[in-house]
Structure 1
């Protein structure tokens, strides 16, 4: 076999292997993630960065939900820092949204080679009441839970920090601080500012244009982590 044929074969093999590798982006959280249309800005951006066939984007979100709907070890932290147990919580709802999300993820990645995983998280509003005292432990635990279940190595994390809609709430301010500080302490984590995407009324939810901009910002941070 001549040198040209060997070169072409090597290039073909490398191209085939590369085509099989996918960058997985898992989007989840509560209402501001649910209202985000990935196709409006997020997905086009990551496809442009990594190729049309080089990405998998999975989203599952539910409005108004506590992190306990994702983090399965909620019972282990409910007394952390003196927080009273949430006796109203149905045990069947602890981690149920995580299971729903992972069912979608598993369906998308079966039979595929995953090169990187990035978890994109927009949640915390529902925990800004009394549960903010355990939020940091739950969020770190959720990412660890995801890494252990996927068994694909380190997971990158992009967090949409709560906007400044309710700065009069101590819990709201604390969750903002937790989200930002965790990202600044971990090289594989990034946070996105949302203070200017919720319109003149400064509401909890964003404007239509705000969601498009939010998706762009999430994608920019995700691409940076993958690169």
Structure 2
């Protein structure tokens, strides 16, 4: 009788549906006008949904045109970026954080956070390129502290070639170089090129060359590039996490 009950129990266990494990991935998009004009639902989100079909994706966008990075990270002098300083959090950063909290507060634990940043034109045009890297690192440090995690993935849209030959060319170069240095110095970060996305017809059919803003086609391509890098970073970090877990397993000798 006991053997029969045990067999029935095993059959029931094998027949029971296995609960699907759903990972939750948060994507935060922020910056100034070239981010504000990007429609995440056009290309960005469909690519994420195709790459992560079984997962829950939370996409939060908060961007405002013509804004310097000072509106996100407030500091007037170069310094080592230190998180935990309330006075360093600018009004647009606080607005973004409130939006994140409002949309994720009741959700279970988030498995990954990806921060996508498209900003810097205002700083380059106003001669603030020398301070840009410090402020960008401070912004990232604050986001890590406020979200309570140091594994935030970062994707930066490098500002285009619009101002490379203009009166603010030196600071335009400084901002671009700062964006690349930050992305290349962090373990799970990358940057995307936008130099070829601002040539073509605008929404009114007028030809633009090296424009400050991207073309309609350019914004769709920017969404594709953001999604491609974000997916690659997520897959790479997941692979490295799996490898680390495998390496921690005890070796069993027969």
Give the TM-score of the pair, scaled to structure 1: 0.85
Instruction: Please state how far the C-alpha of 1:154 moved relative to its aligned partner.
Output: 1.2
Asked if residue 114 in structure 1 is aligned to residue 114 in structure 2, the reply is no
The structure with the largest alpha-carbon Rg is 2
Structure 2: 5+ residue runs without aligned partners?
Answer: 1-7, 80-86, 201-208, 236-254
Question: Between Structure 1 and Structure 2, how many residues are aligned?
Answer: 208
In structure 1, the partner of 2:27 is 25
In structure 2, the partner of 1:141 is 138
Structure 1: 5+ residue runs without aligned partners?
Answer: 82-91
- Note closer, same or farther for the CA distance 1:44–1:151 as it changes in structure 2 (3 Å cut): same
Instruction: Indicate the RMSD between aligned Cα atoms, in angstroms.
Output: 2.0
In structure 1, the partner of 2:77 is 79
Q: What CA distance in whole angstroms lies between the structure 2 residues aligned with 1:195 and 1:150?
A: 32
Asked if residue 212 in structure 1 is aligned to residue 220 in structure 2, the reply is yes
Structure 1 residues 147-198: Cα deviation after superposition (integer angstroms, max 9, x where no partner) = 1001134110000001111102100011111111221222211000100011
Instruction: Please state how far the C-alpha of 1:11 moved relative to its aligned partner.
Output: 1.9
Q: What CA distance in whole angstroms lies between the structure 2 residues aligned with 1:9 and 1:111?
A: 29
In structure 1, the partner of 2:190 is 190
* 8 Å Cα contact 2:197/2:217 also seen in 1: yes
Give the TM-score of the pair, scaled to structure 2: 0.77
Relative CO higher for 1 or 2, CA cutoff 8 Å, sep ≥ 6? 1
Q: Which structure shows the bigger proportion of residues in helix conformation?
A: 1
